[in-house]
Structure 1
């Protein structure tokens, strides 16, 4: 089933009333996808549309949750990354296998979280922007301090990911982004796939709605490999 946050700005799901059972065998434990949206996570209509798209994933047998970095807040990237890490840990303690999926600026958050916690079974990035801060105009960086911090932090963390780690990353990109430089959406060593759409926002919506089956297939294969 799909689970949504009810804890306000903390970024943590309310788990009260849920009894933690012993972890299921790795090959049978449910997969939990934590989705991290980009700079638009401050826009309720956009967040709502993404939530609704994620609801359809329950038919594919995965559970979904959204984590909002709140890029335009006063929090630091490290503080929000700590919150995301806490969320991952809570789901793992419930016996779930956790995968992360980040769109646009959210790609940096999920890559950073993966670099610090390799128990995450797989990572998916959609139209990701996690490199080259000089490509972003200064007003955007000033208004979204955690995003600016992520662009200086993530490249260093990527150096810690070896070939096997990178093979568990799926990067989905549009044929022509228009917002993020096309080269920036590529990650060396990852599974890079180009979708037959044009545009940044369109690519994100298309991936959530029409590439769900492909993403879930990738997650299951990565989870199986992790269990071996």
Structure 2
């Protein structure tokens, strides 16, 4: 699992040693959040900042991992979705409860993964762009082929999500995005919340740094339903 970043009860087979310690202390399996960034996942400084923000979530008792689609590469969206599914399975087999969080274009990846694997306990999308490919200028779609494929794939997959599935999705959006049409960040049936910030990139950073407690509370409520 080269893309992962990771932060003894013998009667708990299937759990790794760290997970067994968490279960022993809390009575519950640990929560693992897999974060999928947007088109900026090709920019090392931006990836670094997001990783550092996610490290602070450890203090809230949540493990985090980043998965990069590599939107500007020549891989297919389906291939990367398969890889993300393998990562989810890996952590589930370790005995962890897996949640997905995607920012901007990453929202489409986590929604598609959730539609395939309902064992995911909850999904968080931040300033998500997963609908209306016609709103994106052609050069962006050409430079980011997996993103174009995502925008064509995800709307159909969303049709398979029922009311209970959608209730386990939290969508965080800025008061005015400026990059993604404000209506595109809404998902019918999900818990849609507007943050008191303006701007696309600012919304992502604000959510990772200052909405962590809200997200973790949503995750804990989801796993106790």
Q: Fold-level match, TM-score > 0.5?
A: yes
Matched, 1:22 2:14: yes
Matched, 1:38 2:38: yes
User: Secondary structure at the residue paired with 1:140?
Assistant: helix
Offset, 1:224:
1.1
Give the direction of change, closer, same or farther, for the CA distance of 1:14–1:136 in structure 2 (3 Å limit).
Answer: closer
Question: Partner of 1:141 in structure 2?
Answer: 141
User: Secondary structure at the residue paired with 2:28?
Assistant: coil
Question: Partner of 2:81 in structure 1?
Answer: 81
Map Cα deviations across residues 45-102 of structure 1 (whole Å, 9 max, x no partner).
0000000000000000000000000000000000000000000000000000000000
Map Cα deviations across residues 190-217 of structure 1 (whole Å, 9 max, x no partner).
0000000000000000000000000000
C-alpha separation in 2, matches of 1:14 and 1:40: 19
Map Cα deviations across residues 21-52 of structure 1 (whole Å, 9 max, x no partner).
42467960000000000000000000000000
C-alpha separation in 1, matches of 2:200 and 2:214: 19
C-alpha separation in 1, matches of 2:86 and 2:107: 18
Map Cα deviations across residues 155-185 of structure 1 (whole Å, 9 max, x no partner).
0000000000000000000000000000000
For these two proteins, the number of residue pairs brought into alignment is: 212
- Extract unaligned runs of 5+ from structure 1: none
CA RMSD in angstroms, aligned pairs only:
1.7
TM-score, structure 1 length as denominator? Answer: 0.90
Check the 8 A contact 1:60/1:216 in 2, yes or no.
yes
- Extract unaligned runs of 5+ from structure 2: 7-11
Matched, 1:121 2:121: yes
TM-score, structure 2 length as denominator? Answer: 0.91
C-alpha separation in 1, matches of 2:13 and 2:34: 21
User: Secondary structure at the residue paired with 1:218?
Assistant: helix
